[in-house]
Amino acid sequence: MSFFTELAHQYIDGEWRPGSGSWDIIDFNPYDGEKLASIPVATAAEVDQAYRAAERAQQPWADTNPYARRLVFERALRIIEDREQEITETIIAELGGTHLKAAFELHLAKEFLREAVQLSLRPEGRILPSPVDGKENRVYRLPVGVVGVISPFNFPFLLSIKSVAPALALGNAVVLKPHQNTPICGGSLVAKVFEDAGLPAGLLNVVITDIAEIGDALLEHPVPKAISFTGSDKVGRHVATVCAASFKRAILELGGNSALIVLEDADIDYAVDAAVFSRYVHQGQVCMAANRVLVDRAVEKEFTEKFVAKVRTLKVGDPADPATHIGPLINSTQAEAVTALVDQTVEAGATALLHGGSEGNLVQPSVLTGLAADSPVLQQEIFGPVALIVPFDGEDEAVRIANDTPYGLSGAVHTGDIERGVRIAQRINTGMIHINDGTVHDEPIVPFGGEKHSGSGRLNGESMIEAFTTQKWISVQYGRSRFPF
C-alpha cells in the first residue's frame, strides 16, 4: 500500500474526496525530486464544510463516556505500531527524515497517544465554598468545542497528533491543516489512523490547502474556539492577531534560537556529543535546535577541535540509507536560503571552520565562529545544518549572550556542578532548559512551550487541559436568596 496513492485527498465529514480548487498541491520527495502525490487544493467552501461537520459531531462526542472515548486512542496506538515500517518509509520519502529521525518521531507520537488515553479521564470538576449561606458553587471542566490545528513540515506526524489527540480525548472536534510540503504525514495519514481506529465521522477533518487559496478562512471562521499553531514566529504573530480579533484562544508553539552553554568544568567529550546532536538532528530543522553553542574560553580550543572533528564524521546523503545522519532540507527555497546565509556571514567576517556547500536540497554542515557581537545571524533561527560557536568569559557573560535573542524556547547548560547549572538555567529566559543534556527534548507530561517570540501557552500533560477545555461555573442556591429590592 502506498499512502501517497491512497491518501492524496481531503478528509471531510468521514469522506475521502478531492478538493474543488482549480490547482493542485504537489507533494515532492525533497531528496530526489520525485513527485509523490498531486492533491486538488481545498477551497474556503471546503474549510467551511469541515468546520460545520466538526460542529455537528462535537457535542455527541463530548457526551460520550470518556472510558469509551479512550478506546479510540488505544486502537490508534496499535495501528501505528502495526504500520510502523510503512509510516517510517513515508516520513523518509515526504520530508527527507533519516531513519533515526523517523524513529524519534514515531516514538514520541506513540507516547503522546498513550498520554491521550489517560487524558480522556483527567478533567475534574470542583465544588467551591460560597460566602452566601445555602449556596453551592460547582465548577465544570468542559471541551472548548471545535479546535483548528495547523501543523508544520519538520515533525508533521508527531506535531499533528500532539494537538489532535489531546483535543479529541478531551471531547472536542478538530479541523487539521497540514503544511503544504507534508500533506500526507501531517494530515491525511493522521486522519487514516483515526478513521481505522473507529473515530466517528466528522470529529477529525483534514483540509489540504494553502493561504494563497483560502486566505484567513481557517482562522476567521466562526466555529472554532481555539487554534493550535506550530510554525514560525512571523506567521504565529499573524495567527495571534486574527484570533484576538475574533476572541479565539491561540496556542502558539513557535521558533527558537537556543543556546547550549559549555562551562569550564563540563565533560567536554559529552558536551560535544550533545551539541552536535542538538544542532544537526534532522538537518537542523528543529525549533529546539542549538543554534548557538556558547563555550567558556578556558575550554574553547579543546571543545572546538573536538566539535569540528565530530561534525566531519556526519554522513550527508540519501535519508533512506540507515547510515545517513543529515538528509535534505525540505525544499530548494530553504536550501538556498541557508547556503546564502552561511556565505553572507563569512563575507561579513566570520571564520568558517567548516563551510558546507550544497547539492540540490542537500546542504553540508557548516561551523562558524569569530562572529561579531552584532552579527544578524546570532539573532535568528537557522533552520539548517549550521552551528555558531561563541566564546564567553564567565557565567554572567554566558547568561547575557544566551538571553540576547528575541526567542526563548529551549537551551542547555553543561557543567560538573548540577546546582550551578540549575542556577544559571533559572537566569535564562526560556520555557525549557536542560542540564547536562541536549536542547532537543519533548515528553508527554511536562509543559512544553516558550517565552518571548517563541510562543504563548503550553502543551503536554495538564497544559493540554488548559489549552483545550474551558471552565463553567454553575451555582446552586438551596433555600431562598434575599434580594435588596
The Cα–Cα gap between 403 and 397 comes to: 10
CA angle 469–444–90, rounded 5-degree value: 105
Work out the average pLDDT over 224-230: 98
The answer to the question of residue 444 being in a domain is no
Strand 455-456 relative to strand 249-253: parallel, antiparallel, unpaired? Answer: antiparallel
Helix (H) or strand (E) holding 399, with range, is helix 394-403
Check residue 110 and give its pLDDT: 98
Task: Compute the mean pLDDT over every residue in the chain, rounded to the nearest whole number.
Answer: 97
Query: pLDDT (tens digit, 9 = 90+) per residue, 97-136?
Result: 999 999 999 999 999 999 999 999 999 999 999 999 999 9
Do the beta carbons of residue 429 and residue 403 sit within 8 Å?
yes
SS3 462: helix
- Tell me: do 464 and 410 sit in the same domain: no
Helices 66-82 and 84-95 cross at an angle (nearest 10°) of: 70
Q: Give the integer Cα–Cα distance in Å for 345 and 330.
A: 22
Within this chain, do residues 175 and 276 fall inside the same structural domain, yes or no? no
pLDDT digits (tens, 9 = 90+) for 374-385: 999 999 999 999
Write out pLDDT tens, residues 32-64. Answer: 999 999 999 999 999 999 999 999 999 999 999
Give the mean model confidence (pLDDT) for residues 241-254: 97
Domain boundaries, position 18: 3-254+454-473
Residues 267, 152 share a domain: no
Q: Are residues 37 and 182 in the same domain?
A: yes
How many domains does the structure of the chain reveal?
A: 2
Cell of 458: 503550553
pLDDT of residue 1: 46
CATH number, domain of 390, equals: 3.40.309.10
Q: Which pLDDT does position 341 carry in this prediction?
A: 96
How confident is the model over 283-332, as pLDDT tens digits? Answer: 999 999 999 999 999 999 999 999 999 999 999 999 999 999 999 999 99
305 and 232 within one domain? no
Output DSSP code: residue 65: -
> Could you tell me if residue 134 is inside a domain?
yes
* AA letter at 136: E
Q: Quick one: 249 and 279 in the same domain?
A: no
- Same domain assignment for residues 249 and 101: yes
Give yes or no: 185 in active site.
no
Residue 95, CA distances (Å) to 1, 31, 118, 152 in order = 19, 8, 31, 11
Q: Which of 287, 300, 381, 395 is catalytic?
A: 287
Q: Looking at the domain assignment, is residue 441 inside a domain? A: no
The 10s digit of each residue's pLDDT in 187-223 is: 999 999 999 999 999 999 999 999 999 999 999 999 9
Same domain, 244 and 391: no
Q: Which of 55, 195, 253, 300 is catalytic?
A: 253
Q: Could you tell me which residues come within 8 angstroms of residue 23 by beta carbon, excluding any fewer than 6 positions away?
A: 40, 41, 213
Residue 235 and residue 296 in one domain: no
**Are residues 59 and 170 part of one domain?**
yes
Query: Is residue 427 within 8 Å of residue 421, measured between CB atoms?
Result: no
Which residue has 455527541 as its cell numbers?
60
**Number of alpha carbons in the 13 Å side-chain half-sphere of residue 340:** 6
Please indicate, yes or no, if residue 448 is contained in any of the structural domains.
Answer: no
Region of 62 (left: φ > 0; alpha: ψ -120 to 50; beta: rest) is alpha
CA distance 49 to 209: 14
Q: How far apart are CA 354 and CA 339, in angstroms?
A: 13
Statement to judge: residues 182 and 274 lie in one domain: no
| pLDDT value, residue 2 | 83
Residue 275 within a domain: yes
Q: Is residue 87 part of a domain?
A: yes
- The Cα-based distances of 360 to 99, 206, 321, 327, 339 in angstroms read 20, 31, 17, 11, 11
Q: Is the dihedral of CA 292, 239, 165, 90 positive or negative?
A: negative
- CB-CB neighbours of 374 under 10 Å: 8
Q: Is 287 one of the annotated active-site residues of the chain?
A: yes
CB-based contact 185:201 (threshold 8 Å): no
Q: Verify that 21 and 170 share a domain, yes or no.
A: yes
- Chain centroid to CA 43: 25
**What is the CATH classification number for the domain harbouring 237?**
3.40.605.10
Whether 482 is covered by a domain: the verdict is no
Residue (of 160, 170, 266) closest to 463 by Cα position: 170
Residue 170 has pLDDT above 80, yes or no: yes
User: pLDDT (tens digit, 9 = 90+) per residue, 326-368?
Assistant: 999 999 999 999 999 999 999 999 999 999 999 999 999 999 9
Q: Would 442 be classed as within a structural domain?
A: no
The predicted pLDDT at position 22 comes to 96
Rounded-to-integer distance, Cα 163 and Cα 14, Å:
19
The conformation of residue 326, written as its DSSP 8-state character, comes to B
- Please list the residues that pair with 473 across neighbouring strands: 139
